[in-house]
Structure 1
Amino acid sequence: MRVEIWSDINCPWCYIGKARFERALERFEHREEIEVVHRSFELDPRAPQDARPVVPLIAAKYGLSLGEAEAAEARIAENARGEGLPYLSEGRDAANSFDMHRLLHFAKEHGRQAQLLDSLYRANFAEERSAFEAGRLVELAVEAGLDGEAAAAVLADPEAYADAVREDETTASAMGATGVPFFVLDRRLGVSGAQPAETFTRALEQAWESRVALPLTTLAAKE
């Protein structure tokens, strides 16, 4: 059974939701038969390329004061730490994530998507050094087990894997997703948001029990 997860590196609830889903998956009886695929979704495709402090961005987006935006970040940090995740609640920045998504598709081809995603989340939410700093993405790709020169070549070509990112986003839109994280189990059951682990457990069980068992097809040997 396949579970597809649409997410954005700029989304702290995606970071938290991933941890909650993985906790549920660890306890799932049939976890070895679950394929997890991460899909691209940009919360703000028009976000600038240059990194900017997160708190003023949150304030502007949601019409909050800086104090209210800081409090919102603190609440998110508390939720993250409740899942055992490190979270830098002050001094974080954000920028356009399209290149990150392109690099994740490159990593998927080389079987290192999950490792790169973890590295990107850690860099964006738990480290003081900006994930958007020049050359940082190549370093993170190498940390995830990818070839640095190949990763740099992908980032240098703005069209590399761009269609794959857009295809993911088009699919999410067709499914009615307006935000992330968005989890789709076997293209039959959707779970929106960073739900508690118990909700993901119920979703996995429901999708597993209702999956369609295909009849065995036997191919006749050629004479």
Structure 2
Amino acid sequence: MRVEIWSDIACPWCYVGKARFEKGLAAFAHREEIEVVHRSFELDPHRAKGDVEPVVGMLMRKYGRSREEAAAMEEQVAATARGEGLPYDTAGRMAGSTFDVHRLLHLAKARGRQSELLDLAYRANFAGEGSVYDLESLARLGVEAGLAEEEVREVLADATVYADDVRADEEEAARLGATGVPFFVLDRRYGVSGGQPAEVFTRALEQAWQGRALQPLGPAGDDEGAAACGVDGACEAEAPSRP
């Protein structure tokens, strides 16, 4: 069974959601028979390459918040990530175009190294272990993920390579009704939106595996309170747990 995950490396809830999905998958009896495919989704597809700014400044501009309020927003997400065992460094994080990251992830997919590169890119962006917003740093991540350096540099040097693949993923997300990420599609039968708890992913996998409802794509699990980043780049805070 295939699980497709639309996400953006700039999305903190995608970072958290990937970890939660993997925990949910680990609890699924047929986990060895699940193929996971990561697909492209840019939160800010119109941002120019080279237009990089501090995350706190971006949050101030986007939400009209003070610097203190924007920093508190970052720290709230960081606390959630750390609760999942993920490193998250709020100091000096940057925001920029992720188009080249997505192109390189398509090369990594073709070479069977997509998951490795995705993990490295997330850690670079959220854990302060590098950068994803300049080509030299991105090339180093590609090589660290196990890709051939010459091929990595060829892809990054030509902005048309894998560009159609990125756009095709984004168009498919729109056709499926995705308005934000992370967005999970299970066997083209069920959709799960947001960084849901691990147990929601386990239940969704079980439901899709059993094929109880042979209907068009629809929700699986409880989306209420799910944290996600929307197509305008706005990232919702996670709702508190219900009693």
The TM-score with structure 2 as length reference comes to 0.85
The 5-angstrom pairing of residues 32-71 of structure 1 reads 32-50=32-50, 51-71=52-72
Matched, 1:25 2:17: no
What corresponds to 1:78 in structure 2?
79
Indicate if the aligned counterparts of 1:92 and 1:130 stay in contact, CA closer than 8 A.
Answer: no
Deviation at 1:66? 1.8
- Structure 1 unmatched ranges of 5 or more: 214-223
The 5-angstrom pairing of residues 105-120 of structure 1 reads 105-120=106-121
Indicate if the aligned counterparts of 1:59 and 1:65 stay in contact, CA closer than 8 A.
Answer: yes
What corresponds to 1:130 in structure 2?
131
What corresponds to 2:208 in structure 1?
207
- Structure 2 unmatched ranges of 5 or more: 215-243
Q: Higher helix proportion, which one? A: 1
Deviations 1:134-174 (A, max 9, x none): 40011000100000110010011111000000000000001
Counterpart amino acid of residue 211 in structure 2:
S
Which protein has the larger Cα radius of gyration, Structure 1 or Structure 2?
Answer: 1
Deviations 1:157-194 (A, max 9, x none): 11100000000000000111111000000111000000
| Matched positions, count | 213
Deviation at 1:61? 1.6
Distance 1:131 1:182 in 2: 22
Q: Match of 2:181, SS?
A: coil
Deviations 1:103-162 (A, max 9, x none): 000111100000000110011110164332340011000100000110010011111000
Moved over 3 A (4+): none
Distance 1:160 1:56 in 2: 32
Q: Match of 2:75, SS?
A: helix
The TM-score with structure 1 as length reference comes to 0.92
Deviates more, 1:124-133 or 1:109-118: 124-133
Percent sequence identity over aligned pairs: 63
RMSD: 1.4
